[in-house]
């Protein structure tokens, strides 16, 4: 059950409270001879995704339509039934309205949107299947009041790069409100603007890159249902753009989230989908990351042969990376990233020596502070497993210093995990590092 962001957006536009909508629906029902006793709690359930019974969806359209002085359909309020006939709007334009409604709800911090859990099973797989399979968007042109120019698209591209750098330096908690605010103020009006097919594809690509950053920031803020919805949106925008490489990048983000959620078979399947569907449009950097994450998934499943095969493919792809020939989105695949991914896979397989070699290589390669924190955390864990408490303590101290000032729930979780490992070692050599981590964790986000 997904939050009904369209109904939430229309409610906000109409200036009607939850209690007010319930009262108006009850009144409209009485005019039709119906005895309804809805309260604000019922509206809250509708916003969380529950569908009202009987004629109530039509009553909601009537009530809100009168308030807004325009006719509303069930699709307009997110209560259209699957397979029902739609109005003149295209599927892509309907998607734009749902997407922008989510951005608006996120910016307003609606609890039923921000706190929604991630979906699993078929609902999680369908967006990936739809990206990979026909039909394609034959024409993404649109009529609107504002003509979209290449200057507008360049602005979106520059914003994506800006917010990506902000995320790396400050973390997703601080960055998310800014990127979502930009999506609402700048990207949403452009998507609803006027553009020809060629310009529209570039617009959808640029917006997809921004939406992916919003998803990354939501993931980093520990709001996984919201992150997943942003990733699904970015995947739909990638399909509209016709850029298979962008779609594969978005799926890599979904693979990473699947690993975090311990959906290891899903991670393997998603990575296979990206590698298969992107074909020649997939770059060496992205292929290296997808294979490395597959290796981690196979290792977690206990499939050593599958993990080692993917490790070899990841290393081969990494050797072919040419930074100047990669798109902006794959800039996160910096030297050493594959090493730390491989280290984690080998650690799961029990190969401490191999894991140590790769983790040391990753730490010895320059990286931005955020990436370096994760690399140092992995090395700390391996050093502790190998009984080198002194080295582990020193590595953990450097990791904690690098993490200072970043507002990131994921990094805080990583620090907590390292602190638990340090405490479990029972060594005086790790006490200083554990105390330093405690101090860092006391700083609120």
My answer on whether 129 and 104 are in the same domain is: yes
Residue 34's contacts (CB-CB under 8 Å, 6 or more residues apart) are 55
Classify residue 147 by its DSSP letter. B
Q: Can you tell me the distance from the alpha carbon of 297 to that of 307, in angstroms, rounded to the nearest whole number?
A: 8
My answer on whether 314 and 419 are in the same domain is: no
pLDDT for the residue 137: 94
Residues 140 and 204 sit within 8 Å (Cβ to Cβ): yes
Could you tell me which of 297, 304, 229 has the C-alpha nearest to residue 263? 297
Q: Can you tell me the distance from the alpha carbon of 296 to that of 193, in angstroms, rounded to the nearest whole number?
A: 43
Q: What does the angle CA 427 – CA 444 – CA 403 come to, to the nearest 5 degrees?
A: 55
My answer on whether 32 and 171 are in the same domain is: no
My answer on whether 343 and 377 are in the same domain is: no
Q: Can you tell me the distance from the alpha carbon of 236 to that of 130, in angstroms, rounded to the nearest whole number?
A: 8
pLDDT for the residue 85: 41
| Per-residue pLDDT reduced to its tens digit, 89-130 | 458 888 898 899 899 989 989 888 899 999 999 999 999 999
* Structure token pair of residue 170: 């400050």
Last residue of a domain, one of 28, 57, 83: 83
My answer on whether 103 and 212 are in the same domain is: yes
Could you tell me which of 383, 405, 131, 360 has the C-alpha nearest to residue 244? 131
My answer on whether 21 and 140 are in the same domain is: no
Q: Can you tell me the distance from the alpha carbon of 76 to that of 67, in angstroms, rounded to the nearest whole number?
A: 14
Domain that holds residue 356: 246-360
Counting as low any pLDDT under 70, the low residues of the chain are 1, 81-90
Q: What is the pTM of this model?
A: 0.85
My answer on whether 279 and 356 are in the same domain is: yes
pLDDT for the residue 90: 56
My answer on whether 322 and 381 are in the same domain is: no
Partners of 194 in beta bridges: 147
* Structure token pair of residue 322: 């040419």
My answer on whether 197 and 253 are in the same domain is: no
Residue with tokens 């919003």: 214
Q: Can you tell me the distance from the alpha carbon of 441 to that of 387, in angstroms, rounded to the nearest whole number?
A: 25
My answer on whether 261 and 351 are in the same domain is: yes
In the chain, how many domains are there?
Answer: 4
pLDDT for the residue 425: 85
Q: Can you tell me the distance from the alpha carbon of 351 to that of 278, in angstroms, rounded to the nearest whole number?
A: 33
My answer on whether 42 and 108 are in the same domain is: no
My answer on whether 171 and 222 are in the same domain is: yes
CATH label of the domain that carries residue 281: 1.25.40.10
* Structure token pair of residue 32: 């039709």
The alpha helices in 301-388, defined as continuous H runs, are 304-319, 337-348, 352-363, 369-385
Last residue of a domain, one of 360, 389, 415: 360
Inter-residue long-range contacts of 321-329, CB under 8 Å, 24+ positions, other chains counted: 321/283, 321/284, 321/285, 321/288, 322/284, 325/283, 326/283, 326/284, 326/285, 327/245, 327/246, 327/249, 327/283, 328/157, 328/160, 328/161, 328/209, 329/209, 329/212, 329/246, 329/249
pLDDT for the residue 364: 95
Inter-residue long-range contacts of 363-369, CB under 8 Å, 24+ positions, other chains counted: 363/336, 363/395, 364/336, 365/334, 365/335, 365/336, 365/339, 366/334, 366/335, 366/336, 367/334, 367/335, 367/336, 367/337, 368/168, 368/169, 368/334, 369/168, 369/169, 369/402, 369/403, 369/406
Last residue of a domain, one of 60, 83, 106: 83
pLDDT for the residue 205: 98
The alpha helices in 108-149, defined as continuous H runs, are 111-114, 122-132
| Per-residue pLDDT reduced to its tens digit, 271-328 | 999 999 999 899 999 999 999 999 999 999 999 999 999 999 999 999 999 988 999 9
Classify residue 317 by its DSSP letter. H
pLDDT for the residue 380: 96
């Amino acid at each position: 059950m997904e939050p009904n962001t369209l109904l939430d957006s229309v409610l906000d536009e109409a200036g009607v409270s939850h209690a007010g909508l319930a009262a108006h629906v009850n009144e409209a029902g009485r005019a039709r001879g119906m005895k309804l006793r809805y309260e604000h709690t019922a509206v809250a359930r509708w916003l969380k995704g529950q569908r009202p019974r009987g004629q109530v969806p039509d009553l909601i359209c009537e009530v809100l339509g009168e308030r807004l002085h325009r006719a509303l359909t069930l699709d307009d309020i997110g209560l259209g039934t699957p397979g029902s006939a739609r109005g003149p709007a295209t599927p892509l334009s309907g998607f734009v309205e749902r997407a922008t409604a989510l951005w608006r709800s996120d910016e307003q911090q609606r609890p039923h949107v921000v706190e929604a859990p991630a979906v699993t099973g078929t609902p999680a797989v369908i967006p990936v299947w739809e990206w990979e399979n026909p039909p394609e968007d034959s024409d993404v042109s649109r009529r609107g009041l504002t003509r979209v120019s290449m200057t507008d698209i360049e602005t979106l591209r520059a914003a994506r790069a800006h917010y990506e750098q902000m995320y790396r330096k400050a973390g997703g908690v601080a960055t998310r409100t800014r990127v979502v605010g930009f999506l609402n103020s700048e990207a949403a009006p452009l998507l609803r603007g006027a553009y020809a097919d060629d310009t529209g594809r570039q617009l959808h690509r640029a917006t997809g890159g921004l939406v992916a950053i919003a998803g990354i920031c939501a993931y980093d803020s520990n709001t996984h249902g919201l992150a997943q919805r942003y990733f699904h949106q970015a995947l739909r925008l990638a399909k509209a753009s016709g850029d298979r490489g962008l779609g594969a990048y978005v799926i890599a983000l979904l693979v990473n989230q699947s690993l975090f959620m311990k959906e290891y078979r899903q991670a393997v399947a998603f990575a296979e989908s990206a590698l298969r569907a992107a074909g020649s449009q997939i770059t060496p950097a992205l292929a290296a990351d997808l294979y490395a994450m597959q290796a981690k998934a196979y290792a977690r499943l206990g499939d050593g042969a599958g993990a080692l095969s993917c490790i070899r493919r990841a290393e081969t792809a990494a050797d072919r990376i040419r930074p100047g020939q990669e798109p902006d989105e794959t800039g996160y695949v910096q030297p050493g990233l594959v090493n730390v991914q491989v280290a984690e896979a080998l650690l799961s397989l029990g190969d401490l020596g191999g894991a140590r070699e790769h983790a040391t290589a990753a730490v010895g390669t320059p990286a931005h502070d955020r990436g370096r924190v994760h690399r140092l955390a992995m090395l700390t864990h391996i050093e502790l497993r190998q009984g080198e408490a002194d080295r582990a303590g020193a590595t953990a101290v450097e990791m904690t210093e690098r993490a200072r000032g970043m507002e990131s729930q994921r990094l805080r979780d990583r620090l907590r995990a390292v602190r638990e490992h340090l405490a479990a070692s029972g060594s005086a050599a790790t006490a200083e590092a554990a105390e330093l981590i405690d101090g860092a964790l006391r700083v609120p986000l």
